[in-house]
């Protein structure tokens, strides 16, 4: 049986790197355009991957974001080495944030990131280990 077409690419994300922050999700948007994904789905994937990318930049020391595209779905997988999230349920609430004043002054940390990912995704799995890091698996069905 021929294997299913699959495109994947991994991007490195560095904590506190505000110069390159957002570039991985911009690349993802470009790739999805080239493949010819519907614009409204591209927009959702771009928003969710941007929020996920910014979470790594804002809170973790480093991480990776992997894009996987098949004719059935688009998957964005994020893995970071960071503080982890003690109470995921609480963190998922709109407006809940542990962001420092410094982060808030830059216009981030409004506590909308994770809920925004969930809102835009068809499936969203989040796992976290305090002191180790967080992994996200965000799925969009075609």
Partner 1 sequence: MGEYFHSVRVVPERCIGRMACLKVCPTEAIRVRHGKAEILEDRCIDCGECARACRHSAIIPQTSSFTEFSEFKYTVGLVSPVLYGQFRKDVLPSTILAGVRKIGFDDACDVACASEAVSAAIDEHLASYRGPLPLLSPFCPTIVRLIQARYPSLIDLLIPIDSPMEIAAREVRNKKMKELGLRRDEIGVIYLTPCPAKMVSIKYPLRKRVSHIDGAIAISDIYHSLLSAMGEVNSSAHEVEEPVKGMGLGWPVLGGQVSALQAESSLAVGGLGDVERILDEIERGKLGDIQFVECHACAQGCCGGSLTVGDPYVTRGTILSLVARLGKAPCADREKIRELYQKRYFSLPGKIPSRPFAPLDKDIGKAIEKRKRIQETHEGLPQINCGACGAPTCLSFAEDVVLERARLGDCPVLTARQARTAADSSPDLDGASQVLTL
Q: What are the C-alpha distances in Å from 1 to residues 4, 6, 43?
A: 9, 15, 34
Rounded to the nearest whole angstrom, what is the least distance from the CB of residue 138 to partner 1 in the complex?
Answer: 15
Please list every residue from 42 through 81 that binds partner 1, using CB under 8 A. 43, 46-47, 50, 69-71
From 2-10, 12-20, 56-64, 79-87, give the range in contact with partner 1 by CB under 8 A: 2-10
Please list every residue from 115 through 134 that binds partner 1, using CB under 8 A. none
From 6-14, 80-88, 96-104, 123-131, give the range in contact with partner 1 by CB under 8 A: 6-14
Q: Measured between alpha carbons, how far is 59 from 62 in angstroms, rounded to an integer?
A: 9
Site map 13..42 versus partner 1, x via CB under 8 A? ---------x---x--x-x-xxxxx-xx--
Question: Residue 95, interface with partner 1 (CB under 8 A)?
Answer: no
């Amino acid at each position: 049986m021929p294997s299913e077409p699959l495109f994947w690419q991994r991007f490195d994300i560095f904590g506190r790197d505000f110069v390159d922050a957002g570039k991985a999700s911009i690349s993802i948007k470009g790739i999805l355009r080239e493949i010819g994904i519907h614009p409204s789905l591209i927009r959702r994937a771009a928003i969710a991957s941007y929020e996920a990318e910014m979470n790594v930049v804002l809170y973790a020391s480093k991480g990776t974001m992997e894009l996987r595209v098949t004719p059935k779905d688009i998957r964005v997988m994020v893995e970071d080495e960071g503080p982890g999230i003690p109470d995921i349920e609480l963190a998922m609430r709109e407006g809940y944030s542990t962001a420092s004043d410094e982060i808030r002054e830059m216009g981030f940390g409004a506590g909308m990131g994770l809920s925004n990912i969930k809102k835009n995704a068809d499936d969203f799995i989040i796992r976290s280990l305090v002191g180790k890091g967080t992994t996200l698996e965000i799925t969009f069905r075609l």
